[in-house]
Structures are given as structure tokens and as C-alpha cells.
Amino acid sequence: MISPKFPSTFWSYEPILELVGKKALMPPLGLITVAALLPDTWTCRLVDCNVRPVTEEEWAWAEIVLLSGMIVQKPYLLELVAEAKRRHKPVVVGGPYATALPDELREAGVDFLVLDEAELSLPPFLEALARGDVGGTFTAGGERPEVTTTPAPRFDLLDLGAYDSMSVQFSRGCPFNCEFCDIIVLYGRRPRTKQPAQVLAEMDRLHQLGWRGTIFMVDDNFVGNHKAAKELLRELIGWQAARGFPFQFDTEASIDLAQDTELLDLMVAARFRSVFLGIETPDAASLERTFKHQNLRQPLLEAVDAITGSGIRVMAGFILGFDGEAAGAGDRIVAFVERTGIPTAFVSMLQALPGTALWDRLTREGRLRDAGTASGNQTYLANFIPTRPLSEVAGEFVGAFERLYEPEAYLDRTWRYCLALGATRRVAPPVQGVALSTRELVKTLPALLRILWRQGLVRHTRWRFWRYLASVIRRNPGALTEYFTVCALNEHFLVFRQLVRHSLELQLAAVHAGGPSAIGPEPVVAPRPASAETCVSGGASA
């Protein structure tokens, strides 16, 4: 089993992984779940290319090669397919990319395509293999499995020390209907949840294997079913308390979380540390157009403040390029982020992903660009012709990104946010604050020293860093770990914003050379702020 590399993205965090001495952010949960579904008679070896390359010995040993990946991993996955075929190995591919674009993989020479969710499509593949078939495509036939029968992933196949976080999945699917979203296409609108006992068994396994620290609940929407999430959290709190709270959690959720105080309190008590919210835009008209109605039920500022006040750090996604969007959307996003203080704001241009309602509509309207190439990468231009000039949207995107991650602005926002973070955190037993156990301290000390070195000595913002650190210690010591975490992220964003600008400029030049890029007149490229790069140790990486 081979997991392809990820390109450099907003979420790849390479400089931070270096700071904390890790190789990759999270393990390939899909592949280790498939490994648990394979017959006991199979011997599996797993190589995550984000950790290390496949050795010659491993290539020679393998009788069959199984690959899985997302669209964003496509180039690396195709390289692995070519390498396996060069070595005359049968190749099996599953996962989101294969499910969305199987023809590309057929053309690449893949032997077996195991599409949709493996609980249903893997058994017919295994039967075909046992019959002696040498190829085929296997699907779930439009069905979706209950995840109550999904076995615990084979965490034992992982090199645990290589990862910053572990991943655990509680649910699949989301009840909402955002036009651009491929989650509801792949996993449906009825959230399917595991039983609490199943999730706790996975926690037990990770605990036995020696994992301590962060677990990312990789659900599409952890609160897609509030009732089921609460049932899990009640059990999880007891499990954590009985073991001295060995884990802390990050996750993704829809913004209706903010209106359910009981759910928020349970998440805080279970030690959820941060949550990613798809805010998308502060423009109500765009939210209406993209059918993100759940973001209109409560003022967005109020919702973010409620989650921040509970003690859970908000990370948020924003999108530019919705149909009918008025000029200045980038400025409005920056103003929203500054007002809420959200340190980690992920901005991208709208992408149409295969199979989504957006993709279908744009296809009907003849607006997909480059035959509708979808990269899934935020450093790419919109893959369709927007209703305002593409270069105007791109200019706002680059400008917003540069302003949000201008070092002084980022530190100012981080400081304000840490002071606002969580009354709960201040009154609850400090889990992530100053009260670290000796074991945790020993583990985190090298990373902490490296952060202090980079942020407190090397960067030109060092005095601001120390001033804010003193202020957080004095005024909200429970937020200290978050302050260090968010400052460490700055190491990545400093570099990544250069990559965004460079990548978008190259793509825009190509578009200008090749044809129309908007419905309407094409203006000159919107001016972007002068680079305020301050990274002493170097410029952009690619």
C-alpha cells in the first residue's frame, strides 16, 4: 500500500513539521482502513511517501500495489502507477481521486479500480482477484455502507513517530447542500456515524500503541448529527478522564455548532482544541447563491465569537469567485478576519470539482476552463470562467493572502485572539496551558525552543513576539499553547504566501496568452500590495 506525496499547500505545513521534528501532518487513514478490510491471509506493508520513499526491496517484495489519494495528490499518484507498471506489478487504485475521475486512471494503465466506499466495493474486487481476473472496476452500486461495521484502522502499520497528528473518523457525510462541495457527492447528505464504543476502541488501540497528543477527527462535518456527536463526546470525556487526558482533538464542523452551547461545552470538556469552519465569505448574497444557507442563520461574527469564547480556536476557510460577487470581496474577507481575530484563515479561489452541483451547472453553461481541470490545490486559479474578470478575482485573492499573513498583522491578530480565547479555558483545569506534565514538557521542549529561536530571535517581529507572549502569560495563561502553536504556523504562512503569489502570476500570464478569462471585459491585473517578505532565512519555496 502506497500513499502518494502531497504537494505544498496551505495545509502542508512543511516548516512547522521541521520545527516539531515530524515528517508528515497526518497518516493515510483511508489506506489503513482498507488494510483492516483485507483478508487476514494478506501481508500488508504500508509506505507513506510523505514520510519516506518506497525502497527497492519493497518494490521487489510486493505482489500487488494498492494506491489511494485525493485529486490534489494526482501527479504523484500517477507517477507511482507508472513505476508499478514499469515493474510489471498489478495496480489497484481507490479513494476520492479514482472515484471522481476513473477514466484518467484507466488511461494510465491501472488494472483494478475500487471506487466509492471500500466496505462495499472491496469484496467484489477480492472475489474477482480470487477468480483470476486481471482487471476490472468495482463500485458500491449507488449504495453507502453503514460505518457501524467498519473495522478499526490498522494503526499498527504506521510509523507513529513520523506524524504530527493521528486521524480518527467518527462520521461520513454532511446534511447540508453547498453547491461546490464534493463531500455530499462522495459520502451523501445523511451523516453516518460510528458507535461511540467503536471510536473508543480506536482510541484504545492508539493509546496501546503509545500515541499521545493530537488526534484530528477527520469527519467531513463532526457536528453533522448533533445528537450522535453528543453521545460520543459524553463517552469520550469519561475515557479521557480515566487516562489523564492523553489526547487533544482538532476537527471540522459546520457553523451551526455555535448555536448549540451544550455541544460546545462537551467538545471543550473532551479537549477539542480547534475547529475548522467553512465560513466561505461574509457576503450574504454569495452564501445564498452557493446554497450555504446554514451560514445565514446566525450573524457570522456572533457565531465565531461564541466558539472562540468557549475556548476552541477557530480556523476558517474563505472563498473568492462566487457568481455575482461584487468587487472588493477580498477586502471584505480581510476585514472579517481582522474583526474576529481568526489567526488561521485559509483563502482560495472557488474550484469546481467533478461531480458537484457547481461542476454540472458550469458544464451546462459552458464555463469550465482547460476542459475543467480540477487540481484541488489552493494555489490554482479558478478552473472556470467567473462572472467578473478572472484576474480581478485573482488579484484580490493574492492581495488578501498577503495582507492576512503580513508578519505584524498576523502577530497582532494572534495576540488579540489568544486574549479572547475561551473563558472556559481559564476556569477549567488547564490542559493545554502552562500546566504541562514532565513527560509532555520533555516531548515539547525541543519544538518550543525552536519556535522561540525563530520567532523570538530570528524574525524582525521578535520584540512584538516577546511583548505579546508576556501579555498572554499575564492575561490568559490558558491560551499559551495556542499562542505558540499559532506563532509556529507563521513560519509556514510566510513562505506559502510567496508561493501563492508566484503560482497565480504564472497561471494568469498563461491565461492572458491563451484566451478569455471572464464573462465580460478583461481589465488589467489588479494591483497587489508590495511584498512585505520578512523571512530572514530565505524567500519562497516551491
Name the site residues for ligand SF4 (rule: CB under 6 A).
174, 176, 178, 181, 183-184, 220-221, 254, 278
**What is the DSSP code string of 322-359?**
-TTPPTTHHHHHHHHHHHHT-SEEEEEE--PPTTSHHH
User: CA–CA separation, 355 vs 188, rounded Å?
Assistant: 12
Instruction: For ligand SF4, give the closer residue by CB, 117 or 482.
Output: 117
Radius of gyration over every alpha carbon of the chain, rounded to an integer in angstroms: 23
Q: SS3 of 422, please?
A: coil
> C-beta of 254: minimal distance to ligand SF4 in Å?
4
Distance of closest approach, residue 121 Cβ to ligand SF4, in angstroms: 22
CA–CA separation, 263 and 289 (whole Å): 29
187, 220 contact by CB (below 8 A) = yes
**Nearest distance from residue 256's CB to ligand SF4, in Å?**
9
Q: How far is the CB of 293 from ligand SF4 (least distance, A)?
A: 10
By C-beta, is 216 or 493 nearer to ligand SF4? 216
Q: Cβ of residue 173: shortest distance to ligand SF4, in angstroms?
A: 8
Pairing of strands 213-217, 192-193: unpaired
Sequence-ordered list of residues with C-beta below 8 angstroms from that of 289, at least 6 positions apart, any chain: 179, 322, 323, 324
Residue type at 92? Answer: V
Q: Is-contact 138 121, C-beta < 8 A?
A: yes
Look at residues 122, 151, 156, 155 and name the one whose alpha carbon lies nearest to residue 137.
122
CB atoms within 10 A of CB 438: 7
Shortest CB 353 distance to ligand SF4, Å: 11
The nearer residue to ligand SF4, 24 or 181, going by C-beta atoms, is 181
Cβ proximity to ligand SF4, 239 vs 318, nearer residue: 318
* Residue 278 vs 386, nearer CB to ligand SF4: 278
Query: Of the two residues 280 and 402, which places its CB atom closer to ligand SF4 in the complex?
Result: 280
Q: Which is nearer to ligand SF4, 174 or 381 (CB)?
A: 174
Report the C-alpha gap between 47 and 159 in whole angstroms. 9
Q: Running DSSP on this structure, what letter comes out for residue 456? A: I
CB of 261 to ligand SF4, least distance (A): 20
Residue 537: Cβ within 10 Å count: 11
Closest distance of CB 197 from ligand SF4, Å: 26
Q: Is 36 exposed, middle or buried (0-12, 13-18, 19+ CB in 10 A)?
A: middle
Identity of the residue, 221 or 461, whose beta carbon is nearer to ligand SF4 in the bound complex: 221
